[in-house]
Structure 1
Amino acid sequence: MKNIFDKMNTKVDYHFYQKKDKNLQRTMGVKDFLALGLGTILSTAIFTLPGIVAAEYTGPSVVISFILAAVVAGLVAMNYAEMASALPFAGSAYSWISVVFGKFWGWIVGWALIAEYVIAVAFVASGLSSNLRGLVSPIGLVLPNSLSNPLGTNGGIVDIVAVAAVAIVAFVLFRGDKSTSKITDTLVILKLLAIITFVVVGATAIKTSNYFPFIPKSHPNANGTTFGGWGGIYAGMSTIFLAYIGFDSIASNSAEAKNPQKTMPRGIIGSLVIGTLFYIAVSLVLVGMFKYSVYANNSEPVGWALREIGHTVTATVVQAVAILGMFTALIAMMMAGSRLIYSFGRDGMLPKKVGNLNTRHLPSIAIWVITIVGIVLGAVFPFTFLAELISAGTLIAFMFVSLGLYPLRKREGKTLPEASFKAPFYPVFPFLGFLGALGIFCGLDIEAKTYSIVWFVIGVIIYFAYSVRHSVQDDAVKTNSSSNTEK
């Protein structure tokens, strides 16, 4: 009988995932994945974070934070694209790391991604709620504080709009991927038009004096981070990195991709490039319209800025479309999260019922799990608190995937399929991706790091208390012969 150490490092045979995922329907093409990725990347973050980060960390140089974060995300995205091309399984980094490093390491990455997805669902729902309430308040539709704010915030008990948003998306997901893709494609187009409208209209109100000093003088923040200077840019970069996690949601749905060897790389890299250009444009316009300090604690700066320059109708239209567009991010994150939870059940890491599919070949129990958890978090925890926590889990997964490219390359064409997309400048770029993700993780504030440690302790306890004894062993073997082949 294998000892615990052997079980922890057992590498999953990729045929196991192929067999288990065969009932998931491959209905999604490049257009669908671009919509899914852009729906996540250009979500709540683009309508909120440029203003908030400028006010709290960077000043006008927020655009530099977005560019640097995009460079790191781009390095990692190329590693993701190769992984997804070679190993198109549900569960993305969780499944990949289980194949190239072993089950325990896959669980650690998967547990990190669970935190990312459920918190991201809550974050987007909370931002959607703030924008919707900001949209309707001028016409006198104002909810009481008890139903507008999370528990303990300004007299709040529950954010009822956030609850309703998550529930609506759950209903859409239960209709199946074909219906979901059509809705996502339509909403993404509308959202892109809304962003372009803001950029064009907002550009007419830019005052060049608001860009100076472009990099304000550095001084410490109350939360232990830095405002201004390159230290502020670094802190802002760590905070806004969550803006680029959309390509990870694409990878989580790779088991439902048509021709994944081509569609996955194109969807992952294409959505990141397009998304970055939009973030740069919105950031430059937003900090040019007003002095950055006015955006402090403003979770709907785009709509507010348009109203302040007298474009009330435009603000209403843009914010209304933006709110609809935020549903695409909820769809993407809840799809990705449910597929990851399904993967845990599929592998016996959680109770096997979690890995069951319903008559429509959908992971219904997994969808219920992420719906309930997303509702609880989005209704109870404040918007800014959620924003601080998302990046940590994502960055840990990014570091593992970057390092995982080295054993993957050694096995491609031998014990694993050959990837149709190859990350360029191997072996330098994968290591740079790892260093970039590590650097951004180190820039997170102490609270985010502390909660991450607590989350991982819980994950390790679950692994040794349940997963190590119940994970599927018969199909996931590491033999001496395969080990020799890999060498």
Structure 2
Amino acid sequence: MKIWEQMWQKESAANYEDKDARLQRVLGVKDFLALGVGTIVSASIFTLPGVIAASHAGPGVVISFILAALVAGLIAFAYAEMASAMPFAGSAYSWINVLFGEFLGWLVGWALLAEYFIALAFVGAGLSANLRGLLAEFGLQVPKAFVTPIVDGGFGDLISIVSILMVTILLSRGVKNATRVELFLVIAKVFAILLFIVVGLTAFHASNLHPFIPQYDPSIKPGPYGGWQGIWAGVSGIFLSYIGFDAIAANSAEAKNPGKTMPRGILGSLLIAVVLFSAVSLVLVGMFKASAYAGNAEPVAWALRQAGHPVVAAIVAMIAVVGMLSALIGMSMAGSRLVYSFGRDGLLPKSLGHLNQAQLPNVGLWTVAIVAIVITAFFEFSQLAQLISAGTLFAFIFVALGIYRLRPREGHDLTDPAFKMPLYPILPMVAALFALFVLLGLGIDAKLMMLGWFVLGLIVYFAYGMKHKIRESR
């Protein structure tokens, strides 16, 4: 087979159905809602509203969150239809393989791989920072060497490393037990958020919301600050918060009745998330002027303490730290299923696609954990977090456009799903264009890092993946 033909050869949906049939279909709507809310409403809800308000949007941060949710919602419609029609492990990677061919599938999967490797380390670091902040309130200090990257002379962020290991061990014993823990953590986290909202409203001052959209001020750094420029910059910064529904889709091969559970899990968790994010943002900027949160790593707890509620601040901070484990569970599950999918197809070593006696992809699970631990141990990777949004937006564009390839095949060689993206054929293009818009709004550093990551991916694909791809006979 010629190289060009190999690159654009489409995977058979029947092959994926046969291979993924070994995975246990044990997850229901409640499990996916917990997984989605736990992943989307992670550390960012306790930090991003204040950060974006101070650096970009002022009180208009609420608009930024709603606009980001609208863009994410359009993509979520496409995800819901895709996951219903093709409930395969690996989400967008597998879908694009079936609809567009091997090469684009690899690029989309490679982009998502960066998301999960870095996001896992990113959330682990966020958990570590919040735990250290909480301990400091009680006069306890973690030795700096234990949270400093090895390249800077420390031992790595040991709190983050231990957290990732704990979640990996939990997941290695089965997803059903892990989702039970996830549900408990999500309930606790939502309680903490509602507690902040209720107590925060007692210190709410409407005057702090004026002007709701500050005048554009190019002198404020990092900016842009104010005006619709600041609102849109806030959307690009916030979008990272809403990408957790990919973690739901990545586990669709383990869904009971995916035609119903996937749309409800994906769209339901996103709806819950946008309500919580918008409410926290509004209360936060109503308690104090947006500028007060500049450089503040824990705006929610800080606002409560400044308003005279130190006990509530400690409770919220404590639950927030524990609740971040839910995001680690979601990212670990989704990342391991993506790595399993690469191994299943032979684009990466076949051992990554191995299932143990309990039909769990634990080789993929530990691979994701080890890479995340290496990142958090050796590197100061805060800038790498931009790769999460860049790579995921790239995948989102192709998922939205993939609806045009999916519809003609539904009811023929692919399942005709009960849920379909509304306003076809207009909405898929609108979703793709909005995702492209947000991608172009990212900083030049994010775009350059994405380009470098794709160059590395092309080297891996042509040097290894193309030669070892498992090609089923038709």
Question: TM over 0.5, yes or no?
Answer: yes
User: How far apart are the structure 2 equivalents of 1:300 and 1:431?
Assistant: 38
- Residue 371 in 1 paired to residue 369 in 2? yes
Q: What's the CA shift for 1:224?
A: 7.0
Q: What's the CA shift for 1:324?
A: 1.2
Counterpart code for 1:109: V
Assess, with a 3 A threshold, how the Cα gap between structure 1 residues 382 and 279 changes in structure 2: closer, same or farther: farther
Counterpart code for 1:228: G
Assess, with a 3 A threshold, how the Cα gap between structure 1 residues 50 and 27 changes in structure 2: closer, same or farther: same
Asked if 2 retains the 8 angstrom alpha-carbon contact of 1:127 and 1:383, the reply is no
User: How far apart are the structure 1 equivalents of 2:303 and 2:385?
Assistant: 22
2:122 aligns with 123
Q: What's the CA shift for 1:158?
A: 2.0
2:173 aligns with 175
1:17 aligns with 16
User: How far apart are the structure 1 equivalents of 2:98 and 2:114?
Assistant: 21
For residues 454-473 of structure 1, what are the structure 2 equivalents within 5 Å? 454-473=452-471
Q: What's the CA shift for 1:273?
A: 0.6
Q: What's the CA shift for 1:194?
A: 0.6
Match of 2:47, SS state, is helix
Match of 1:469, SS state, is helix
1:446 aligns with 444
1:32 aligns with 31
Any unmatched runs of 5+ in structure 2?
none
Corresponding residue to 1:338 among 327, 336, 342 = 336
Assess, with a 3 A threshold, how the Cα gap between structure 1 residues 222 and 295 changes in structure 2: closer, same or farther: closer
User: How far apart are the structure 1 equivalents of 2:245 and 2:472?
Assistant: 32
Asked if 1 retains the 8 angstrom alpha-carbon contact of 2:83 and 2:262, the reply is yes
For residues 61-460 of structure 1, what are the structure 2 equivalents within 5 Å? 61-150=60-149, 158-220=156-218, 225-382=223-380, 384-460=382-458
Aligned-residue Cα RMSD (Å) equals 1.6
Match of 1:226, SS state, is coil
User: How far apart are the structure 1 equivalents of 2:231 and 2:155?
Assistant: 35
Asked if 2 retains the 8 angstrom alpha-carbon contact of 1:223 and 1:445, the reply is no
1:483 aligns with none
Any unmatched runs of 5+ in structure 1?
478-487
Q: What's the CA shift for 1:205?
A: 0.9
Asked if 1 retains the 8 angstrom alpha-carbon contact of 2:248 and 2:334, the reply is yes
Asked if 2 retains the 8 angstrom alpha-carbon contact of 1:122 and 1:379, the reply is no
* Cα deviation digits, residues 79-103 of structure 1 (max 9, x gap): 0000000000000000000000001
1:4 aligns with 3
User: How far apart are the structure 2 equivalents of 1:168 and 1:303?
Assistant: 26
Assess, with a 3 A threshold, how the Cα gap between structure 1 residues 134 and 44 changes in structure 2: closer, same or farther: same
Q: What's the CA shift for 1:294?
A: 2.4
Assess, with a 3 A threshold, how the Cα gap between structure 1 residues 344 and 257 changes in structure 2: closer, same or farther: same
* Cα deviation digits, residues 384-414 of structure 1 (max 9, x gap): 4244231111101100000000010011112
User: How far apart are the structure 2 equivalents of 1:310 and 1:33?
Assistant: 37
Number of aligned pairs?
Answer: 474
User: How far apart are the structure 2 equivalents of 1:209 and 1:473?
Assistant: 64
Q: What's the CA shift for 1:258?
A: 0.3
Asked if 1 retains the 8 angstrom alpha-carbon contact of 2:185 and 2:323, the reply is yes
Asked if 2 retains the 8 angstrom alpha-carbon contact of 1:41 and 1:275, the reply is yes
Asked if 2 retains the 8 angstrom alpha-carbon contact of 1:225 and 1:445, the reply is no
User: How far apart are the structure 1 equivalents of 2:215 and 2:201?
Assistant: 26
Per the normalisation by structure 1, the TM-score is 0.94
Asked if 2 retains the 8 angstrom alpha-carbon contact of 1:100 and 1:408, the reply is yes
Assess, with a 3 A threshold, how the Cα gap between structure 1 residues 63 and 382 changes in structure 2: closer, same or farther: farther
Moved more, 333-342 or 224-233: 224-233
Q: What's the CA shift for 1:221?
A: 6.6
1:45 aligns with 44
Asked if 1 retains the 8 angstrom alpha-carbon contact of 2:343 and 2:352, the reply is yes
Q: What's the CA shift for 1:143?
A: 1.1
User: How far apart are the structure 2 equivalents of 1:211 and 1:260?
Assistant: 43
Asked if 2 retains the 8 angstrom alpha-carbon contact of 1:130 and 1:300, the reply is no
User: How far apart are the structure 1 equivalents of 2:103 and 2:287?
Assistant: 50
User: How far apart are the structure 2 equivalents of 1:288 and 1:229?
Assistant: 19
Q: What's the CA shift for 1:151?
A: 5.5
User: How far apart are the structure 2 equivalents of 1:150 and 1:289?
Assistant: 36
* Cα deviation digits, residues 189-214 of structure 1 (max 9, x gap): 11111100001111111222221222
Q: What's the CA shift for 1:448?
A: 0.8
Q: What's the CA shift for 1:175?
A: 1.2
Asked if 2 retains the 8 angstrom alpha-carbon contact of 1:64 and 1:233, the reply is yes
Q: What's the CA shift for 1:440?
A: 0.2
Asked if 2 retains the 8 angstrom alpha-carbon contact of 1:216 and 1:228, the reply is yes
Match of 1:183, SS state, is helix
* Cα deviation digits, residues 118-172 of structure 1 (max 9, x gap): 111111111111111111112111112222344577x865222111111111111
Moved more, 274-283 or 361-370: 361-370
User: How far apart are the structure 2 equivalents of 1:109 and 1:373?
Assistant: 19
